[in-house]
Structure formats: structure tokens, C-alpha cells
Amino acid sequence: MKKPVITGIGAYVPKGILTNKDLEKIVDTSDEWITTRTGIQERRIAAENETASDLALEAAKIALKRAGVRARNLDYIIFATATPDMLFPSAACILQHKLGAKHAACFDIAAGCSGFIYALSIAEKFIVSGDANNILVVGAEVLSRIVDWSDRSTCVLFGDGAGAVVISAMDGDRGIISTMLRSDGSYGDLLKLPGGGSLYPASHETVDNKLHYIKMQGNEVFKKAVKAMEDIAAEILEKNGFQGKDVDLLVPHQANLRIISAVQKRVNIPENRTYINIHKYGNTSAASIPIALYEASERGFLRERDLVLCVAFGAGFTWGAGLIRW
């Protein structure tokens, strides 16, 4: 049986930087407050003409080049995003056209910040079933477009960026070992973007009421995120016969430094074996894990055959984890 192996990885972040000091001029907040409660110091902001598929394109080019795979040889493009260029066609189809990947079947995943793990899990199944040889998995977000810049509880948290991996069918014992996905829609109202769908289609009223921006009950989301990420990290390790001491690198969703610390403690992974870049980018939702994986690889934190644990939590609520033999 062929294994789903990450053969190439890429990332791209916009050039624009918005610091906590910059935010002090926009809303009633402070650098100290943001850093203490979240760990975020700055975030990237896309240019006016940049879309999610534009950011994804740059990350995908790097991933394909590293994998030695041509776009025309992709079987699937799976695009995780909460901020597609438009509702349809899918961001995956738009990216397919930009890449020239004419033979790839394309679709988007809407699982919030867990989107990359969800997409990774689907790609794993396609490879294991023999249905695909090369799959491009992308997480890309332009969250700055759906942030209410007058809401200090949310606007300080999010940033823009993209990450991509090529997953190929290969022999050997490297690759995705296991993925685990969970959801609980009963908490959907705690983190949502109400406007723009069939419930609240765009109108003067939805715009006036700011329904096209992220709405979040931060304290409740925080509590649920900590418990869910702790539990699923422990569960996937136990299911596959590993302990925290076996993990060479923990790559968590970069939402809040306190959440990351809680997960570390629960599964006994020290800070020096956890990749953290939230201070530079904030919460980039579905893009955060692939951006972190790319940086970890570039900086020499990832070596061949390392055991990597990825874990995420997002709107839905959704959460998930993945174990990878690098």
C-alpha cells in the first residue's frame, strides 16, 4: 500500500505588516494587552488587489517545485479557507486555472481554523485508497477582509497568509500516520460570520449591522479550544501507540499562546519541541499550520523521519489532529 507523503511544502505571507503599536492608533487597545493575552506582536495584511487564491498561488508554486511535481500531474486540489475569493466558483478551481492544473478535481473545505487538518485527512484517504498519486492541499486566508476594525476583541487576533503541501503516493514508512477529526455544531453561534449566506443575504441592513464580519465570544471559544485541542492531541498519540516524549515537533494552530502552552503541558511536550510563530503572523486560520510547517522546515527544526504532531481548533466548532512521519 502506498503511503501519503508530504513531498513538498511552501508558504507565502503578504508584505504589509500591522503591529500592535499600529492597532493602538485604530482601537482602544495596547501592545501590552495584546501580547500578554495572545502572544501576538504583529500580523500580515494583504494588499487591496490580493485575494486568497493569489496568496495560495505563491505558496503552491513553492510546494510544487520542492516536490518536483508539475501542476498538470495533480489529481486533486483541496483548498481550506474561510475567505475564498467568492462563494463560487471555488477558490480551488480559481487556483487550478492559475496553476494550469487542468487534470485536477478541485474543491474547498470550510472548517475554519481546522481546515488544513480536514483537508490533510481527506487527501490521506484519497492516496491510501489508490484514487490519487499527487494532491495539492492549501490553507489560505485574507481574514483582514472580514474583520471589524472597530471591534478590539477580534481585530487584534487575525492576519493573512497561505501555506501549501504536495502529498504524493510513495513506498516506505514515512508519511501521514493518522488523522483524527471532530465537530460539534451546537457551539456554532460562539464563532461565526452571519452575513452573506442564505440566512442573511447581503442587504443594506446586513451591512449596517456589520453581519459580514467575524463575531466571536472570545472567552467561551478559548475554553472550548483548550479542552478540545488537549484531548485530541492526547487521543491521537494514544491511538497510535505514542507518548508526548516521542514527538519531535508539535506544530499547533497559532491562535493563542496560552492555548498552545496548555496543549504542551497536557501531552508533555517541552517548549523547545513546539514550533511557535504566532508573534509574527497572528491567527491565520487554515493557513497557520502549513505556514508553521514550512518555516520549521526552512529553519532546520524538521528532519527526515521526525514524528510531527499537528493540532487545530476552529469555527463549527471543528477540531482535528494529524501525526506525520516527516
Q: Which residues are catalytic?
A: 113, 253, 283
Neighbour order of strands in the sheet with 318-325 = 175-183, 318-325, 307-314, 249-252
Cα–Cα distance, 219 to 130 (Å, whole number): 44
Q: Please, which residues bridge with residue 4 across strands?
A: 169
Closest to 4 in 3D by CA, of 132, 167, 180: 167
Q: Count the residues in the chain.
A: 326
For residue 61, how many other CB atoms are within 10 A of its CB?
Answer: 16
75: amino acid identity, one letter: D
The answer to whether the CB of 4 falls within 8 A of the CB of 323 is no
Contact residues for 74 (Cβ-Cβ < 8 A; gap 6+): 99, 101, 103, 104, 134, 135, 136, 166
Cα–Cα distance, 61 to 296 (Å, whole number): 18
